[in-house]
Amino acid sequence: MKLDLLTGSRSRILAFGLLAIALIFVGRLFYLQVIQHDYYVSVAADAQQSRFVIPAERGLIYAKSGDEPVQLVMNQTVYTVFADPETVTEPDEIMQSLREIAGGNLRSNAAELLEKTDTRYQILATKLSRVQADKLKERSFTGLGFQAVSQRVYPEGDLAAHVLGFVNTEGVGSYGIEGALNEELQGTDGVLQSVTDVSNVPLTIGNNNIRQPAVDGKNVVLSIDRNIQSKVEQALIAAAERTGATNVSAVVMDPATGKVMAMANLPTYTPGEYFLVDDVAQFNNTVITAPYEPGSTIKAFTMATAVDKNAIKPSDTFVNTDSIRVADRTITNATKGITGTITFETAMQWSLNTGFVTIAQRLGNGSEITATARDTIYTYFHDKFRLGEPTGVELAGEAAGTIIAPDQPTGNAVRYSNMAFGQGMEATMMQVASGFTALINGGSYYTPTIIDGYIQDGEFNQTTDISRLQLV
Amino acid sequence: MGCAYGLRRKAPKQTQTKKHHHMSYQQNQYYTSRRQQNWSRNQNTTRYVSAVKLGPVAHTILVALMITVLGLIYLTQATQATSYDYESQRIDSQIADLNEQKADLEIENARLTALETIRNSDVAREMTTPVSTDFVE
């Protein structure tokens, strides 16, 4: 049968018109579905999929109580209560409930914030406990939301505050072990990418789901003994009251391992309320951050150097005249009157500067602090006892101090005569204490450490890699 | 009905009984494939050929029905998987709540056994300094 429709000009035009429209549709669909395929797939994925961060739990910090680890720093989930004033329907009831339940966690201007109906997000209360948040949730107020936040808590209060440091509002560890081991403590957040429903509940349907679990931070056990630490802190308070000193510090170490058992400073602060501190210098752990002239404590190092080099024996004698001349300077004793021929042991007992300047001279040619004597003192002080260098203890902000080398213009005989009794040089308390461990344990220098081990899956694994260097 | 099953020992080629029964819906065919001839001797099979002829519309409807059924099966499965997701989410939430409770209890325990708490306890307050102390050597 012949199609008469196609023979007419109008029909033909209509047919071509329809064909043209069909071709336009086909072309457009080809463009959208084939050429723009990847783009629209990604747009669809963005609309259907959500990416969640699975937060890693920050590692806990323990101290020791004898051999048992006890928690010093823990994590607690607290809640921030926020409102969308535009959608809130019962502002008065919300405020009444917040006053009843949130108490001191309620912001003083919460009622005013709730009245700002042209805004969509106002924080009304912070740091609510789980129980408080649950009570508020039960009342199902429209426009009221809760955000869980993890915060550090310190069951022992301000014990070992300078050792611990704190975690700032951005979740970054600052000062102390929190700052030094921030990477280890914070862990690695996980990722969950998934198709979600309207309530943002992740669903397993979809081909591009990703689930990468979080890796929690390490639980660190410090070598700090909480009983010794507490006693040291009490002693510091007593010392400050007795002497009127404004800054007091103390460190206790095990000379057989280099492990720090207590470390404290005054003035101190409460890590959980670090934001109340006005002077940031208060955060500094001066045991490691503040180099000072160690003074007469260094006489033990000078004596050890000379004995080890066979320059003297403690029973050897010298003539003490309460002063001694070095180049153009005269060095005198603080304690006068122990004059005449006395042993170096006596000079140590009375802390006589003249005796130790004499020892420095005997490391040279006997009457002068020669270049050889200065080299020897520098080698022992700096390279062996590690004075004037960061010790490497696992705490943030450790300072180096200064030991001026003999090849420096100021590293002359006068400088080294002063260094023989602990002046003209700077070291931290940590360096001096670490050097002393070598003096009293038979000559082994232990790199000081504040970490005793780690707790993994509830099991305490003590660290065994102690850095030991035999000096003599 | 007259649909007799029969076995033939050898079937050199496909055979077909061309009996047409008045009220019957199907016919039986004795059928032995060439493969069976070669490898499966002494085994005959039968096949059924529908007596009802379906037109293109019926075919289309049947195919559409099948697709619908398959779609329903898929949807049922997807919904089932989604219900597991909600269950999983509920259990995860429950675990998180219990972990929070556990952490709160651990914190409370740590606070109660803290040195400051012990020092300020009634027991500690009632302790007195001994008048004299002896040491066993």
Q: Chain B within 8 Å of A374 (Cβ-Cβ)? A: no
Which B residues, 85 through 114, put their C-beta within 8 Å of a C-beta on chain A? 85-86, 89, 100-101, 103-104, 106-107, 110-111, 113-114
Domain count, chain A: 2
* pLDDT over 60 at B118, yes or no: yes
Please state, in angstroms and rounded to a whole number, the distance separating the CA atoms of residues A378 and A369. 12
Three-state DSSP class for B101?
A: helix
User: Which of A231, A219, A76, A217 lies closest to A159, judged by CA?
Assistant: A231
pLDDT of the residue at B125: 86
**Cβ–Cβ under 8 Å, residues A282 and A249:** no
Q: Which helix (H) or strand (E) holds A319?
A: strand A317-320
In a domain, A437, yes or no: no
Q: What is the DSSP string of A198-219?
A: TT--EES-SS--EEE--BPPPE
Token output for A469: 């260097």
Could you say which residues from 153 to 192 on chain A have a Cβ atom under 8 Å away from some Cβ of chain B?
Answer: 153, 155-157, 159
Q: Are residues A313 and A209 in the same domain?
A: no
Out of A74, A157, A205, name the one closest to residue B106 (CB).
A74
Question: Contacts from A247-253 at CB under 8 Å and sequence distance 24+?
Answer: A247/A286, A249/A286, A249/A287, A249/A290, A249/A429, A250/A287, A251/A287, A251/A429, A251/A430, A251/A433, A252/A228, A253/A433, A253/A434, A253/A437, A253/A448
Dist CA A384 CA A444 (whole Å):
10
User: Which residues have CB under 8 Å from A12's CB, separation 6+?
Assistant: A6
- Given B81, B86, B104, which is nearest A76 (Cβ)? B104
Q: What is the CATH number of the domain that holds A384?
A: 3.40.710.10
Integer angstrom CA distances of residue A213 from A193, A204, A219, B12:
11, 16, 18, 66
Higher pLDDT, B42 or A363: A363
The answer to whether B104 contacts A75, with C-beta atoms less than 8 Å apart, is: no
CB contact at 8 A, A191 and A53 = yes
How far is the alpha carbon of B111 from chain A, nearest alpha carbon, in Å?
Answer: 5
In whole angstroms, give the CA distance from residue A363 to residue A373.
5
> Cα dihedral angle (A348, A354, A356, A358), rounded to 10 degrees?
-130
pLDDT at residue A466, rounded to an integer: 65
Q: Do B116 and A157 touch (CB under 8 A)?
A: yes
Out of A290-294, A299-303, B29-33, B84-88, which region has the weakest mean confidence (pLDDT)?
Answer: B29-33
How many Å lie between the alpha carbon of B45 and the closest alpha carbon of chain A? 44
Question: Angle, nearest 10°, between helix axes A91-101 and A130-138?
Answer: 150
Please check whether residue A420 lies inside any domain of the structure: yes
Q: Do A156 and B114 touch (CB under 8 A)?
A: yes
With bands split at pLDDT 50, 70 and 90, how would you rate the model's confidence at B131? confident
Q: Which residues does chain B have within 8 Å of residue A77's beta carbon, measured at their own beta carbons?
A: 100, 103
Q: How many CB pairs under 8 A join A and B?
A: 51
Structure confidence at residue B33 as a pLDDT band (50, 70, 90): low
Dist CA A76 CA A88 (whole Å): 29
pLDDT confidence of B37, banded at 50, 70, 90? low
Chain A CB contacts of B114 below 8 Å:
155-157
**Residue A341 domain flag:** yes
Query: Do A74 and B113 make contact, defined as CB atoms within 8 angstroms?
Result: no
Q: Is residue A226 part of a domain?
A: no
| Angstrom distance (rounded) from CA B10 to CA B8 | 6
Of A195, A217, A239, the position where a domain reaches its end is A217
Residue A49 near residue A193, CB atoms below 8 Å:
yes
Domain carrying residue A62: 54-155+182-217
Cα distance between residue A326 and residue A344, in whole Å: 19
- Same domain flag for A70 and A207: yes
For residue A278, being part of any structural domain is answered with no
Query: Which of A54, A58, A130, A198 to probe by mutation at the B interface, max B CB count within 10 Å?
Result: A130
Say yes or no for a CB contact (<8 Å) between A204 and B81: yes
All residues of chain A having their beta carbon less than 8 Å from the beta carbon of residue B82 are 197, 203-205
- Amino acid in the structure at residue A158: D
Q: Which residues of A fall within a CB distance of 8 Å from B103?
A: 74-77
| Whether B110 and A70 lie within 8 Å, measured CB to CB | yes
pTM of the complete model: 0.77
A39 is written with which tokens? 């783009």
* Per-block mean pLDDT, blocks of 10 residues, chain A (472 long): 60 91 96 94 86 91 94 93 90 90 87 88 90 89 89 94 93 93 94 84 79 93 96 96 95 93 95 92 94 95 95 94 92 90 95 95 92 95 94 92 94 95 96 92 90 92 72 58
Cα–Cα distance measured from residue A117 to residue A283, given in angstroms and rounded to the nearest whole number:
41
Residue A194 confidence (pLDDT): 86
* Cα–Cα distance measured from residue B14 to residue B31, given in angstroms and rounded to the nearest whole number: 5
Whichever domain contains A68, its CATH number is: 3.90.1310.10
pLDDT of residue B2: 37
Among chain B residues, the shortest Cα distance to A65 is held by B115
Contact at CB, A130 and B86, closer than 8 angstroms = no
Taking chain B, what is the end-to-end CA distance rounded to the nearest angstrom?
114
For residue A203, the chain B residues in CB contact (below 8 A) are 81-82, 85
Chain-centroid distance, C-alpha A384: 28
Contacting A residues, span 66-105, partner chain B, CB-CB under 8 Å: 70-71, 74-77
* Furthest-apart CA atoms within chain B: distance in Å: 124
Cis (ω within 30 of 0) for the bond into A69? no
Q: What angle do CA A269, A173, A261 make, to 5 degrees?
A: 60
DSSP state for residue A79 in the 8-state scheme: E
Burial class (CB in 10 A: 0-12, 13-18, 19+), A444: middle
Contacts of A75 in chain B (CB under 8 A): 103
Domain ranges of chain B: 1-53, 55-119
Task: Say if residue B15's pLDDT is above 50.
Answer: no
